[in-house]
Amino acid sequence: MTQPVQEPIQATDLNANLMSSKNKQGSKVVNPKTNQLSFGRIPSNNNGIPTGEIYLKLGFIGSGKMRTGAYGARHIWEKHKKDLNIESPEETPEVIANILKEGVDVLVNFEANHDPHRPVVLNTELGRVALSLYVEHGINAYSIVSAYGNKNAVGTVIGQLESPIINTPEN
């Protein structure tokens, strides 16, 4: 079954009502620094981690006390706004874009029990972003699961974050 195409969401559209609802979970949020959908790219490497664009989806705050299934902008705003110093929902994509700066380290903890392995992008000045691999239209991509103000992570550096391939919200 094919998922319907969802309209991209601008950072300025991330208000309290949208962030607290459960609709449009798979909608991608536009990077406010570039006006592109991608926030960066996992580089080619010799560790078996696929290359791919990184996207921030509107996501889901999770269910239950443990926030099962949480990911994306909603989860980051609801759970990590304090440690990331995010004052309003509209700031969430900008904070993520600031962490995902070209040239910062991409790490993978090969000892973790994730299959496939999940890259973490570490910006030692601002925080880190956890990613999850998915396939969209036959192409590898990464969804931003979460972000943390914690500026360290365990793992092997597999490369440095690359700038995104040029795309626009219409693509």
Q: What is the pLDDT of residue 136?
A: 92
Give 47-97 as a DSSP string: SSPPPEEEEEE--B--BTTTTBT-BHHHHHHHHHTTTTT--SGGGHHHHHH
Extents of the domains making up the chain: 11-153
Question: What burial class does residue 12 get, using C-beta atoms within 10 Å of its C-beta: 0-12 exposed, 13-18 middle, 19+ buried?
Answer: exposed
pLDDT given for residue 113 in this prediction: 82
pTM, full prediction: 0.90
pLDDT in tens, 115-133: 778 899 999 899 999 999 9
Q: pLDDT tens across 1-33, in order?
A: 445 567 899 999 998 888 888 888 889 999 999
Ranges 49-53, 85-89, 117-121: which has the least confidence: 117-121
